[in-house]
Amino acid sequence: MPKLGWRWLLALSSLPTSILLLFYKVTPESPRYLCLKGRTTEAVSILEKIARINGKELPSGILVSDNHIDLYEIGNPTEDTNLLSEGKNDVEPPEGGVSHLGGVSSILMLLSPKLARSTLLLWAVFFGNAFSYYGLVLLTSELNSGHSKCVPHHLEKGKSPDVSYKDVFIASFAELPGLLLSAVVVDKLGRKLSMSIMFFLCCIFLSPLMFHLPGGLTTSLLFGARICITVTFTVVYIYAPEIYPTSVRTTGVGTASSVGRIGGMICPLVAVGLVHGCHQVLAVLLFVMVALLSGVCVMFFPVETMGQDLRDSLPSQNQTNST
């Protein structure tokens, strides 16, 4: 950064992400999704590949789409092969499990009475997550800069006139323990409780930053806040796909993620602008309020998905999960 500038830093940082493009062709499609689309031949092919890699054999039978399963057992069924009942389950495709939904229909289903509460709360949490996360990233460099005209002189002594890359690195390194912590709490505390606790802890870490503090203490508080917001960001991406039925799952998660990006775009215009205007108290207070409201929204989610199976239909349908 000091030698080549931010443009080269951005270009070099994009190279590892670009390598992911090579993996798109070899990434298998979801058999669950293919079944709902009626592409059973492709679904069986992928299931056979999964079984082969894991040294197993698929149960004998015929996979049928539109939520109909035909399983004609060959020979004596064992406990391993008797995954589905024999014969034909003539069940009408449930509401929310329709496979030919278009884009507009999917959006309308997200805002249907059965999903509207979850959708709107999820949008609020994604917005708050992105706003807080990218705000903390920007605050890390803003509050560790030695050339701010707003910092009192007795706190500015000994600081480099440039951004302290050591302090930025330390605060950014918090994402590693944040990811490890999210892996632990997501299945111990559940999705809702882990997210709400971390949002509220983030508020506690952020609150002292309303005042001008020594560099070491500022970095420590940012470190703690980055851990918390990394956990909430990780867990919400686990939780979001679990609350939607298969037919609108990707649309629901993608729409919520897009709302989050709006929060990420607004953040530097509002919050960081306040810091540049020597309104650090207001800027940090804004982050605290956004994190607090996001935590409250999490508490109002209608369902905890830990330990639950993914759904193919809307919550009110009593459909046997045949996948």
pLDDT in tens, 13-57: 888 888 888 888 888 888 888 887 778 888 888 999 999 999 988
pLDDT at residue 277 in the model: 72
pLDDT in tens, 109-130: 888 888 889 899 999 999 999 9
- pTM, entire model: 0.71
Distance between CA atoms of residues 263 and 127, nearest Å: 5
Distance of CA 108 to the CA centre of its chain: 22
* Nearest to 235, CA basis, from 122, 83, 117: 122
Q: Name the token pair of 193.
A: 């409780």
Query: What are the angstrom distances between the C-alpha of 167 and each of 95, 112, 126, 163, 282?
Result: 53, 47, 27, 9, 23
| Percent of the chain predicted with pLDDT > 90 | 24
| Percent of the chain predicted with pLDDT > 70 | 77
Q: Which residues of the chain have pLDDT under 50?
A: 69-100, 155, 158-159, 161, 317-323
Quick check: 205 and 239 in contact, CB under 8 A? no
Hunting for tokens 């894991």 — which residue is that?
54
* Nearest to 167, CA basis, from 95, 208, 217: 217
